[in-house]
Structure 1
Amino acid sequence: MNPTTPMPEVVDRAAWQAELDALREREKAHTRAGDAIAAARRRLPMVEVDAAAPLTGPDGRVTLLDAFEGRRQLIAYYMMWSAGRPAAEQCDGCTYFNGQLRELSNLHAAGITYATLCQGPYEESVRYRDFMGWEMPWYSAQDSAETLLTGRRAGMFHLVFYLRDGDRVFETYWTNGRGVEAMDIAYSLMDMSVYGRQETWEDSPEGWPREGSVDGGFFRTDGRPTAQWRRLKAGHSDTLT
């Protein structure tokens, strides 16, 4: 950070608290609006999908139904994949979002399984999961992504929510783009920090830093997804083929 980077105005605590109290009312309204949207989401209809859609996992050929691991709900992250490319050339955004889901026990306690359905071949892509030190269930959806993502652009990342009724599977909701930020704690904390995400689209005061929009922003550092550097430091190879 440049020492000449502008900072907020300095005021006494009473003035600061008054401004914060006014902002807190807007934050509460935002929370209530989010609750209302979540309530509407729970009332959406759903569409049946092929429970037998093929996936490839550690034990070979399985189905979408198997990916539920016996639970009632499944959240699937459809990860983008660049076949035949080393770790440094895999999607920095998918690495950023997917890599933040480490502790899954609370989802399991709610009857929800989380799994990555990679849109590339299993043997190659699971090496990336292991390279990154991730532990979530991992499957290749290479042979079924176009069917499961009907009406959407296969090859892009998507977060899809499923409900199981016996041997039948239904899709209840999906999102992509900024909707995937539901998985992300880093941006949530940045949004509460004084300089935010430091991206050009943000409404920030004149002179605020914009490093978040340079060379891949915080997704990417020195030519590769940021989270990979600690794995290289630990001695892991990023050759996946």
Structure 2
Amino acid sequence: MTAPKVASREEWLEARRALLLQEKEVTRARDRVAALRRNLPWVKLEKDYTFDGPTGKVSLSDLFGGRSQLLVQHFMLTPGSDHICPGCSLGADHVDSARMHFENADLAFAAVSRAAPEQIASIKKRMGRRFEWVSSIGNSFNYDFGVSFTPEELANGSAVYNYAPLTYQMEDLHGLSVFAKDEAGCIYHTYSTYARGSEMANATFGYLDMVSKGRNEDGIMSWVRLHDEYEGAGASCCHSA
């Protein structure tokens, strides 16, 4: 971090007003993009996806929980690996506190990973998660929605992530997908976002982007840990089950 410029209150107000004009431009642009996002065409799903939940089989329709909209977090958990993605976990840390609000606005939430149900249950308990979290280990859901890749795709360069060729070797990556259900029970895919696109659902970045040190990164998200791995986390963690 470079040394800050120290100014008078009058100089600060002049600079702040100039910045405010740019902030308003960004806000208006964000509103325009959000409107375009809402107006994307829908794609009707032709597959019936069945997941493994903590108490048995769960359909994609079940994950709506009686609501007409569903947001799925594609949480990176590769079968056979004990790696827990810190970035995915950071995003998930925001969900349970916000669910009462967006659920009352007709939006359900679920996380989906390729890992076995037993592995998900262990991590869910450790992290104090309360939201629905199911395994897609028995279906093609993660592959169909662009967050998992076969060894053959990785080997021959045909894997696509974030709407472009994948340039590195990873079997699972992160993202968010949105679905809608009509009165007849038909389910539609309305939106997916990947990579930095998922930052819009992460309030931690918003807080840090307001302060002088920003995200204070030495490499992308180098500061992020699982929330029980920060110093003093045992005494202060608010994510108990």
TM-score with structure 1 setting the length: 0.80
Matching residue of 1:229: 229
Matching residue of 1:143: 138
Q: Is the 8 A contact 2:80 2:115 kept in 1?
A: no
Q: Is the 8 A contact 2:76 2:88 kept in 1?
A: yes
Matching residue of 1:161: 178
RMSD across aligned C-alpha pairs, in angstroms?
Answer: 2.1
Q: Give yes or no for the alignment of 1:96 onto 2:90.
A: yes
SS in 2 for 1:229: coil
Tell me the CA shift for residue 229 of structure 1.
2.2
CA distance in 2: counterparts of 1:101 and 1:51, whole angstroms:
27
The one-character-per-residue Cα deviations of 1:180-227 (angstroms, maximum 9, x if unpaired) are 11221111111111121233xxxxxxxxxxx4x28x61113xxxx3x1
Unaligned runs of 5+ in 2: 149-171, 236-241
CA distance in 2: counterparts of 1:7 and 1:167, whole angstroms:
58
Tell me the CA shift for residue 148 of structure 1.
5.5
- 1:1-241 maps to which residues of 2 (within 5 A)? 6-50=2-46, 52-86=48-82, 89-103=83-97, 104-144=99-139, 146-147=140-141, 149-150=143-144, 152-154=146-148, 155-165=172-182, 166-199=184-217, 211=218, 213=219, 217-220=222-225, 225=226, 227-229=227-229, 233=234
Instruction: State the AA in 2 paired with 1:128.
Output: I
Instruction: State the AA in 2 paired with 1:92.
Output: P
The one-character-per-residue Cα deviations of 1:31-73 (angstroms, maximum 9, x if unpaired) are 0000001111111101112463111112201210011011000
The one-character-per-residue Cα deviations of 1:101-122 (angstroms, maximum 9, x if unpaired) are 1220111111100111122111
Shift of the 57–172 alpha-carbon distance from structure 1 to 2, 3 Å rule, reads same
CA distance in 2: counterparts of 1:128 and 1:35, whole angstroms:
36
Tell me the CA shift for residue 83 of structure 1.
3.1
Please list every run of at least 4 consecutive aligned residues from structure 1 whose deviation after the TM superposition is greater than 4 angstroms.
Answer: none
SS in 2 for 1:113: strand
Shift of the 117–42 alpha-carbon distance from structure 1 to 2, 3 Å rule, reads same
CA distance in 2: counterparts of 1:11 and 1:232, whole angstroms:
38
Shift of the 153–78 alpha-carbon distance from structure 1 to 2, 3 Å rule, reads closer
Instruction: State the AA in 2 paired with 1:170.
Output: Y
SS in 2 for 1:175: strand
CA distance in 2: counterparts of 1:85 and 1:15, whole angstroms:
54
Shift of the 54–131 alpha-carbon distance from structure 1 to 2, 3 Å rule, reads same
TM-score with structure 2 setting the length: 0.80
Unaligned runs of 5+ in 1: 200-210, 235-241
